[in-house]
Amino acid sequence: MSLCLKKLSMKSSSKYPEGHGLDTQMPSGVTIETMHVPGLHWGKDRGYVNRVVPTNPSETTCCLFVHGGGFVNGSPNSSYRPFTAQLAKHSGLVFYVPDYTLAPHSQYPVQLDQVLALTRRIRKKYKDVVIMGDSAGGTIALSAALKEPGLFKRCIFLSPWINLNASPSSYRPRQQVSKNSVCGDPVFQGEATTVARQYRSSALMYLGKKNLMKKAPANPAMASDSMLRTLPPSLFMVGDRELLRGEILDFVGKAQRVNRNVYGQLYDGMWHDWPMYSDGCGSQSVKLAKQAIIQITDYISKGWGVLPLGTPTVSIFLQEGEDIRRKSSSTSRKRRRRRSRTRGKRTRGSKRGTPRKN
User: Residue 231 has what pLDDT?
Assistant: 98
- Buried b vs exposed e over 119-148: b needs ≥16 C-beta within 10 Å? beebeeebebbbbbbbbbbbbbbbbbbbbb
Q: Say if residues 57 and 130 touch (Cβ distance below 8 Å).
A: no
Phi, psi of 356 (to 5 degrees): -115, 135
User: Residue 18 has what pLDDT?
Assistant: 64
Residue 243: is it exposed, middle or buried by C-beta count within 10 angstroms (0-12/13-18/19+)?
A: buried
User: Residue 330 has what pLDDT?
Assistant: 43
Q: How many angstroms separate the CA atoms of 346 and 168, rounded?
A: 52
The closest of 183, 198, 152 to 303, measured between CA atoms, is 152
Q: How many angstroms separate the CA atoms of 5 and 2, rounded?
A: 5
Residues in the chain, overall count = 358
Domain definitions of the chain by residue range? 2-327
pLDDT of the chain along its 358 residues, tens only? Answer: 666 777 776 666 544 556 677 888 999 999 999 999 988 999 889 999 999 999 999 999 999 999 999 999 999 999 999 999 999 999 999 999 999 999 999 999 999 999 999 999 999 999 999 999 999 999 999 999 999 999 999 999 999 999 999 988 888 888 876 666 667 888 888 888 898 999 999 999 999 999 999 999 999 999 999 999 999 999 999 999 999 999 999 999 999 999 999 999 999 999 999 999 998 776 667 899 999 999 999 999 999 988 888 878 899 999 875 333 333 334 444 555 555 555 555 544 444 444 444 4
Q: How many angstroms separate the CA atoms of 189 and 187, rounded?
A: 6
CATH of region 2-327, choose from 3.40.50.1820, 1.10.1660.10, 3.40.50.2300, 3.20.20.70: 3.40.50.1820
User: Residue 173 has what pLDDT?
Assistant: 81
